Structure 1
Amino acid sequence: MSNYPLSYKLSWLPRFLKPSLAGDISGFAPVAATLIDPPPARMVRLAFVGDISAVANRSAPQCDPAIVALLGSADLVIGNCESPVVERPSAVLGTRLGTHHAMTERFLAEALAAAGISREKLVLSLANNHVLDQGVAGFEGTVVALKRLGIRTIGTTTTGPIVKVPVGPLTIGFAAFTLWRNADEASFADRVSMQGDPERWPRDAAKGADLLCAVPHWDWEFRHFPRGETRALARHLAGHGVGLIAGHHAHVVQPVQWIGKTLVAYGLGDFLGTALARQPWPGRIGSILAVDVSADLGMRGAIAAYQLHAFMRLRAGDHERLVGVEALEGRLRGKVEGRLKAIFDGQSTAV
C-alpha cells in the first residue's frame, strides 16, 4: 500500500525514539538574514508552519503571546494539514492508536484561533501521506470542511500543480506535493499531488506569479539533516524557477540553505504534534519561517528578509502548549538550545 523503502520502515522506530543528527552538515545558511537593505517600501510577510495534527491534542493548544503575535503579523500563513478533517473516523482502531490521523472541524477552528491564525489568511496543503487515513470519503469530507471554514487548499489534483494566491499587491504561486503515501497508488493519484518534478508541470502554470513557492512533503522522518536525494530535488526545483521551498514530513527541525537565489527550509518540524502525546523531546521542537517579500517595482517577488523561529511543544493536560525557546526553563532549555546549536551552527532562533 505505502511506497516506503524497507530500510526506511526498519529505521522508523529507532529514529522516532532518538532523532538523528547524522548526515551532511555542509553548505547551510544562517537562520535569519536581511537581503535588501534598506528594506523595500512595500512588502508582504509569509509565515510557514509545519505539520498540523490532532494526534497529540484532545483540545486546542495554548500558544505563548510571542507566537500569536508572530503569526498575526503575517499576510499569509501556509501549513500542512496532516490530519483529515472528519467528524467520525472510519479507521477507528488506527485513529485510537495514533497510526491514522483525524481531527474535527471544531478542533481545527479552535486551534487556529488559539494560534492567532485568521482562516482567511491561511493556506493548507493536503499533499501528505496521511490525507487518506480516513479513506476516500474522509479526503472528500476534508476538502468540503476546509472550504466551509474559508481555508484555501493546495496540493490536490483538482487544483493543479501550481495554485496562485493573491497576497496584498503580490501573487504567490504554490506548488505542493508529497513523495510519500500511506494508501494505494491509484487512490492517491486521482486526488493528491505527487508531482514533484517541475519539468512535468504545465509550461505556463506559474505565469503571473511574482514568487513561486514549493511546499514538499519529502525526506525521511526524524532526521535533522536532509538526505542527499532531498537536497538534489531542492536544486532541481531551484533550477526551474522555484524561489522559496518550505518542507514537511521529517517531524523535526532541519536547516536552511540558499541555492542560488532560492531559499530552502528543508523541514519545519510539527506545528501541532503528529505523533504520541509523550513524544521524545527532540521531536517536540518546531519552527516558523517568516519571510518578507518585496512588492516594490523592480524587486517584485524578491526575498527581502527571513527568519526561522524555533519553539517547543510542551504537554499541558490533554493538549500542547507552544512556547518559544527563550521562555523555557532549567534543564529542558539547555537541551533544546544544544540541539538547535547542533542543527544551526550555534545561531539563535528566538521568537
Structure 2
Amino acid sequence: MKWARFLVALAATLAVAACDAARTPPAGAPTRSAPAASPSHSAGITLAFAGDVHFAGRTADLLRDPATAFGSISSALSAADLTMVNLETAVTTRGTPEPKEFHFRAPASVYDAVKAAGVDVVSIANNHALDYGLTGLTDTMDAARNAGMPFVGAGADAAAAYRPWITEIRGTRIAVLGFSQVSELWEEWKATDTRAGIAMTRDLPRAVAAVRDARRQASVVVVYVHWGTEGEACPPDEARAFAAEMAEAGATIVVGTHAHLLLGDGWLGNTFVQYGLGNFLWWRDDAYSNDTGVLRVTLDGSRVSKTELLPATISRRTGQPELAGAADAARIRREYAGLHACTGLAASPGPLR
C-alpha cells in the first residue's frame, strides 16, 4: 500500500516536472537551483516526521485534487516505512467557533490528501483540533476513521486520547502517541474520564503512564508533542522538562511542532529529541520562517541509528513544502546545526543524566 502511494506521488512529481520543462525561462532569466539530491537510505526501518499541516487560505484549493495536494514532497514522505505529521485543523463543517483568535477547518478530503502523500498517522493533539468545539472534534475523529487514517492525541475520553497507535514493521513494534502543551483553553479542551478532548502534557501523571504503558507493548515509542513558544527558536523550560519526563518513561523518539520555526535536536540519554519541525503545508506566507524539512530517523531494531533533516522550503505561491535547492539546503543545514546549542541536549546518545 505504501509502495502504491509512492508510485502515485512519483507520477505527480513527473507531471509537475514536465510542466516546468514546458515553461523554460528565456535566456538570461533568473533560474532556480535544482533540488538537492535525497541522501541514500541506509538499512533499517525509516521513520519520517514533518510539521504542521492544514488547508486554509492559499492551501485550501489544493484539496480540489487531494492526490497531488502535497506536491513533490510526497516522494520524500512516501519513501519512509512510517510517516507522521501534525494535522492542525478541525475536519468538520459544523460546530461553533471557540473563543480564540484563529480558527481552522477543512473538509474530510484532507484525509485523502495526507494518505496520498504517504502519511501513515497524524497527531490531532494541538491548539486547533477543537476550534469548532466538541462537535468539530467528534467530526474530525469520525472522518479519520471513515477514511482509514490512524490518529493519536485525542479521543472520546481520556483513555482513548492517551492511547497509543501501534504498528509493526518487519518485526519491530512501534507505538505512537500525541500530546499538546499549548496553554490556550487547555483546561476546557483536555480529555477527561467523562469528556472528549485532547491528551495534554499538563496532565503529567497520565501522560507518563501512557508512555510507560506503550513501552510495555512496543520496543519503539514515538511521542509527538505540540509545544514551544511561537517565534522562539529555543525550547522553553516547560518543553525541556516534559522531554526529560518522556525519556525517563521510556520514549525512543520525541518530536514536536508549534513554534512556526525549526528548532534544534539532540539526545537525552538514548532518547532522540527534536524540539520543532516548523510549519509544513501552510496557509500563509509566514512572518517567522518558510524554512522546514522532513526529519528522517533510521532504526536498527529498536535503536535509533541515524537521524537527518531533509531541508525544504514552503512555496510562497502554493504553501506546499518543496525539497530545498542546493543553496537553501546548505543554509538550512548550517542554521539547523546551530540550533542545537540552546537545547540542553547531548550531541550523541549515552547514559541518561
Task: Give the corresponding residue for 1:7.
Answer: none
Instruction: Return closer, same or farther for 1:110/1:241 CA change in 2, 3 Å cut-off.
Output: closer
Q: Unaligned stretches of 5+ in structure 2?
A: 1-38, 63-67, 341-353
Instruction: Return closer, same or farther for 1:101/1:315 CA change in 2, 3 Å cut-off.
Output: same
Q: Give the one of 234, 237, 256 matched to 1:225.
A: 234
Task: Give the corresponding residue for 1:279.
Answer: 286
Deviation at 1:70, TM superposition (A): 1.5
% identical aligned pairs:
24
Amino acid paired to 2:79: S
Instruction: Return closer, same or farther for 1:184/1:213 CA change in 2, 3 Å cut-off.
Output: closer
Instruction: Return closer, same or farther for 1:164/1:85 CA change in 2, 3 Å cut-off.
Output: closer
Q: Is 1:176 matched up with 2:201?
A: no
Deviation at 1:112, TM superposition (A): 4.7
Q: Is 1:126 matched up with 2:124?
A: yes
Q: Is 1:138 matched up with 2:145?
A: no
TM-superposition CA deviations, 1:160-186 (whole Å, max 9, x none): 524141132221112311112543624
Q: Give the one of 213, 216, 221 matched to 2:225.
A: 216
Deviation at 1:72, TM superposition (A): 1.2
TM-superposition CA deviations, 1:217-262 (whole Å, max 9, x none): 1111121221233223222221221111111111211111111111
What is the number of residues matched between the two proteins? Answer: 286
Amino acid paired to 2:319: E
Q: Is 1:101 matched up with 2:134?
A: no
Using structure 1 for the length normalisation, give the TM-score.
0.72
Distance 1:44 1:340 in 2: 23
Instruction: Return closer, same or farther for 1:145/1:181 CA change in 2, 3 Å cut-off.
Output: farther
Task: Give the corresponding residue for 1:304.
Answer: 305
Q: Is 1:110 matched up with 2:103?
A: no
Distance 1:200 1:346 in 2: 27
Distance 1:238 1:200 in 2: 10
Structure 1 runs of 4+ aligned residues shifted over 4 Å read 61-64, 336-340
Task: Give the corresponding residue for 1:48.
Answer: 49
Distance 1:261 1:186 in 2: 35
Does the 8 Å CA contact 2:291/2:314 hold for their aligned counterparts?
Answer: yes
Q: What secondary structure does 2:173 align onto?
A: strand
Does the 8 Å CA contact 1:340/1:346 hold for their aligned counterparts?
Answer: no
Q: Is 1:193 matched up with 2:193?
A: no
Does the 8 Å CA contact 2:311/2:332 hold for their aligned counterparts?
Answer: no
Task: Give the corresponding residue for 1:5.
Answer: none
Q: Is 1:80 matched up with 2:86?
A: yes
TM-superposition CA deviations, 1:254-274 (whole Å, max 9, x none): 111111111111100112115
Task: Give the corresponding residue for 1:148.
Answer: 146
Amino acid paired to 2:275: Y
Task: Give the corresponding residue for 2:319.
Answer: 320
Does the 8 Å CA contact 2:181/2:200 hold for their aligned counterparts?
Answer: yes
Answer 1 or 2: higher relative contact order, Cα 8 Å, separation at least 6. Answer: 1
1:28-67 alignment runs, 5 A limit = 43-56=44-57, 57-60=59-62, 63=70, 65=72, 67=73
Q: What secondary structure does 1:51 align onto?
A: strand
Using structure 2 for the length normalisation, give the TM-score.
0.71
1:156-175 alignment runs, 5 A limit = 156=154, 157-168=158-169, 169-175=171-177
Q: Is 1:91 matched up with 2:97?
A: yes
Q: Is 1:345 matched up with 2:338?
A: yes
Does the 8 Å CA contact 2:263/2:339 hold for their aligned counterparts?
Answer: no
Q: What secondary structure does 2:335 align onto?
A: helix
Q: What secondary structure does 1:253 align onto?
A: coil
Amino acid paired to 1:99: F
Q: Which moved more, 1:165-174 or 1:250-259?
A: 165-174
Task: Give the corresponding residue for 1:25.
Answer: none
Distance 2:220 2:253 in 1: 8
Distance 2:136 2:161 in 1: 20
Deviation at 1:158, TM superposition (A): 4.3
Distance 1:237 1:92 in 2: 30
Does the 8 Å CA contact 2:176/2:223 hold for their aligned counterparts?
Answer: yes
Distance 2:89 2:289 in 1: 18
Q: What secondary structure does 1:143 align onto?
A: helix
Task: Give the corresponding residue for 2:261.
Answer: 252
Distance 1:158 1:144 in 2: 17
Distance 2:332 2:295 in 1: 18
Q: Unaligned stretches of 5+ in structure 1?
A: 1-32, 295-299
RMSD over aligned Cα atoms: 3.2
